Chains A and B, each alone.
Chain A
Amino acid sequence: MGAPILTVDDLRVDFELPGRTVHAVRGVSFEVRAGRTLAIVGESGSGKSATASSVLRLNPEPPARYPSGLISYQGRDVLRLSQKELRSIRGDEIAMVFQDPMSSLNPVRRIGAQIAEVLCRHRGGRAARYHADVVAALEAAGIDDPQRRAAQYPHELSGGLRQRAMIAMALVAGPRLLIADEPTTALDVTVQAQILDVLAGLQQDRQMALLLITHDLGVVANMADDVLVMRAGEVVEHGDVLSILTSPKHPYTRQLLAATPRLREESPA
């Protein structure tokens, strides 16, 4: 196991709202290594998305503020990078997949153009130059007939296809760390499994580090190597997936596990 790609140490994130300050993240620490998956679980408002967005500094500043803590990506201190340096990392070295594929694609631009934009931004040149890369990325994300899909607009694609397109967009530049913020929450249950398969396969092929944000413990069991349980901005439990799912130490983790429906415990007929 190599050195960690991403190290987060005692991260605090505040949001300065008019008249009050919300402490969204209160001292979170973790690391992610190449080829490994860390899942951050917790209920809505637990600070898991704010933590994920902080890694790319995507929380609008202001109101967001980082009073203390360290986010170190390959030895670089993300909290001290300039906007220009941040932009050169975003999408190229660290990529992100968002929750809602319905609204994450610009409705007036073709799928292919939006995926090519990542490469235009980081490698220069015009979109046409990257047509082959775009098609390859769509194919890798499990999209049939990628040539045709690249020329289509978002409204012509189903939710599952759009999320695959989002994955293609995130991975086209070959990032070393992928942050997936509830990548399957907005999708049908049948599609969820396919999307997770695609993500897991690509992660193994490319030895990417994956930071997976979710509230679905089923997803955690299938995907994660390590788990971080968050509640009200704090880490309540951190460990490898097996020990957390089989012998949770913290009462909140037990509550979370208890809240997951189990097929086998349904009343017998």
Chain B
Amino acid sequence: MMHRVLKARMAPLALVVLALVVLCAVLAPVLSPFDPNAQDLLTRLSPPQWTGGHLLGTDNLGRDVLSRLIYGARISLFVGLAVALISGTIGALVGIVAGYRGGWADRVLMRLADVQLAFPAILLALAVVAFLGNGLWVVIIVLGVTNWVSYARVARSSVLSLRERDYVLEARAIGVGPATIMRRHLLPNVLASLITIAALNVASAIVVESALSFLGLGVPADIPTWGSMLADGQLYLGTSWWIAVFPGLALMLTALSINITGDAIRDAVDPRTYR
């Protein structure tokens, strides 16, 4: 499977970018040349330069942009993965139960999904953050409980066909109950398609988190995130472009890379897209 992922035109590049982002996130304290929150007002707004240490310049408070960028990767990745994990779990549960049970359970759960889909996630996130105050976990949980619909839809439709397979009948014939059938016979068989959705979900969660942070409603200010860096930098865009441009670039490249990789994984897994 892996070589087919790599064969897609952009996929190798996307994987390299992703690896770089993951590396930054894991090794942030080692890689970053400065403390991301250390202010140095004497060198504020210094442009990117090869000498003098600040490779990507400093922001309006004299904080090193590169170090903040590296630490920001942590938040972005963590938010993305945590959101995908939470919404994937909810979606798989809802979809498998709806698909296997059918009848009224299916109708109720899928109408719930329609309602969720009709309500923009970012609006709900704004409302909840305004109500509960901002925090990393608030953002993660709000995004986690709003993104489950696509998982549920895919899980349900796979289960609709899987439940007619003979091995499900066979499991019933040896006396296995519905909960075990769902967990042991259906879940492993829908996991592959859910992982593909998860890849795309990670990217969208990163972008939404940045949007919230940009609006000042995401992660608290003492944690460097790409979104809040963008917000800080926009005032200085005319004079000190580097403050906003580098986090924007990082955000764009990361989201793009995850999307390309996700597409490539989907193509590799789905036999209909073989070329």
Flag if B165 contacts A103 (CB, 8 Å). yes
Of the listed stretches A84-92, A197-205, A206-214, name the one at the interface; the rest are far from the partner chain: A84-92
Flag if A121 contacts B174 (CB, 8 Å). yes
Flag if A104 contacts B175 (CB, 8 Å). no
Least Cβ–Cβ distance between B192 and chain A, in angstroms: 9
Flag if A88 contacts B167 (CB, 8 Å). no
Least Cβ–Cβ distance between A243 and chain B, in angstroms: 33
A117 cross-chain contacts in B, Cβ below 8 A? 171, 174, 176, 184
Residue of A nearest to B185 (CB): A106
- Select which of A87, A104, A105, A118 is within 8 A of B177 by beta carbon: A87
Q: Does B222 contact A (CB under 8 A)?
A: no
27 examples of A-B residue contacts, CB within 8 angstroms: A56-B173, A58-B173, A87-B176, A88-B175, A90-B173, A91-B173, A91-B175, A92-B175, A95-B173, A96-B170, A98-B166, A98-B173, A100-B166, A103-B165, A105-B167, A106-B167, A106-B189, A107-B189, A109-B184, A117-B171, A117-B174, A118-B175, A121-B175, A121-B176, A121-B180, A166-B170, A169-B170
Interface residues of A (CB under 8 A from B): 56, 58, 86-92, 95-96, 98-100, 103-109, 117-118, 121-122, 166, 169
B166 cross-chain contacts in A, Cβ below 8 A? 98-100, 103-104
Least Cβ–Cβ distance between A6 and chain B, in angstroms: 15
Flag if A95 contacts B174 (CB, 8 Å). yes
Q: How many residue-residue contacts, CB under 8 A, span A and B?
A: 64
Q: Does B271 contact A (CB under 8 A)?
A: no
Bound form: Cα–Cα A108–B187 in Å: 10
Bound form: Cα–Cα A109–B175 in Å: 18
Interface residues of B (CB under 8 A from A): 165-167, 169-177, 180, 184-185, 188-189
Flag if A90 contacts B169 (CB, 8 Å). no
Flag if A90 contacts B165 (CB, 8 Å). no
B189 cross-chain contacts in A, Cβ below 8 A? 106-108
Contact of A109 with B174 at beta-carbon distance under 8 Å, contacts A98-B166, A103-B166 already known: no
A58 cross-chain contacts in B, Cβ below 8 A? 169, 172-173
A87 cross-chain contacts in B, Cβ below 8 A? 175-177
A109 cross-chain contacts in B, Cβ below 8 A? 184-185, 188
Residue of B nearest to A83 (CB): B177
Extra contacts besides A90-B175, A106-B185, A108-B189 (18): CB < 8 Å: A87-B177, A88-B175, A90-B172, A92-B175, A96-B173, A98-B170, A98-B173, A100-B166, A104-B169, A106-B167, A106-B188, A106-B189, A107-B167, A117-B171, A121-B174, A121-B176, A122-B175, A169-B174
Bound form: Cα–Cα A91–B184 in Å: 17
Bound form: Cα–Cα A52–B158 in Å: 28
Bound form: Cα–Cα A87–B180 in Å: 12
Bound form: Cα–Cα A56–B175 in Å: 10
